[in-house]
Structure 1
Amino acid sequence: MRILLDECTPRPLKRELADYEICTVVEMGWSGKKNGELLRLMSQEGFTILLTTDQNLRYQQNLQQAGVAVVVLIAPSNRLPDLVPLIPDVRKVLNTIASGEIVEVGGY
């Protein structure tokens, strides 16, 4: 399982998932890529999961066709203090999510 941390998600969140193979969009040199191109690049590079705060992605892209799973973090903001409390639930989702699925975490 390779996880890509989306550009709209704070990079320090990566430390919270250090036991997974996780890269950021910036590290991959993909800053500024549109979602469709990003999903294609992810698939080509062997990433299986996108971790994002972009709640509109499911309406903009065909995730089944892209062949990746998406975990959407739902919090009051995309600031680290709002996202870190979601990590235990993210870990549970990472163990069960399948390609083409989109799962929202948070927003309770």
Structure 2
Amino acid sequence: MRILLDECVPRPLKREFVPREIRTVVEMGWSGKKNGELLKLMIQEGFTLLLTTDRNLRYEQNLQLAGVAVVVLVAPSNKLSDLLPLLPNTRKVLDTIAAGEVIEVSS
């Protein structure tokens, strides 16, 4: 599983997913890309999952057709301190999520 960390998620969250293969939108040089273009780039580069805080993505894009899984972190803000408590449940979701699924993880 190759995971892409959306640019709305704090980059330090990446280290919480070691040893999984995870890259950030910034590392890939995809900052500022619209969601549709980002999904296409993900597929071209072999990413299978997007980790985001964007709760509207599922309504803006046909994720089933795109063939990538999306985990949406739902917290009071996208600050690292608000997202860290979601990680135990997020890790469980990563083990079971399938392409085309969108799963929201909240506290």
Give the TM-score taking structure 2 as reference length: 0.98
For these two proteins, the number of residue pairs brought into alignment is 107
Q: Give the SS at the match of 2:70.
A: strand
Q: Does 1:54 align with 2:54?
A: yes
Matches within 5 A, 1:1-108: 1-106=1-106, 108=107
Cα offset, 1:65, TM superposition: 1.0
TM-fit CA distance, 1:25: 0.1
Q: Give the 3-state SS of the residue equivalent to 1:33 in structure 2.
A: coil
Q: What CA RMSD, in Å, does the superposition of the two structures yield over aligned residues?
A: 0.6
Deviation, structure 1 residue 19: 1.3
Equivalent-residue separation in structure 2 for 1:92 and 1:16 (angstroms): 13
Gaps of 5+ in 2: none
Taking only the aligned residue pairs, the percentage that are identical comes to 77
Deviating beyond 4 angstroms after TM superposition, the runs of 4 or more aligned structure 1 residues are none
Q: Return 5+ residue gaps in structure 1 as ranges.
A: none
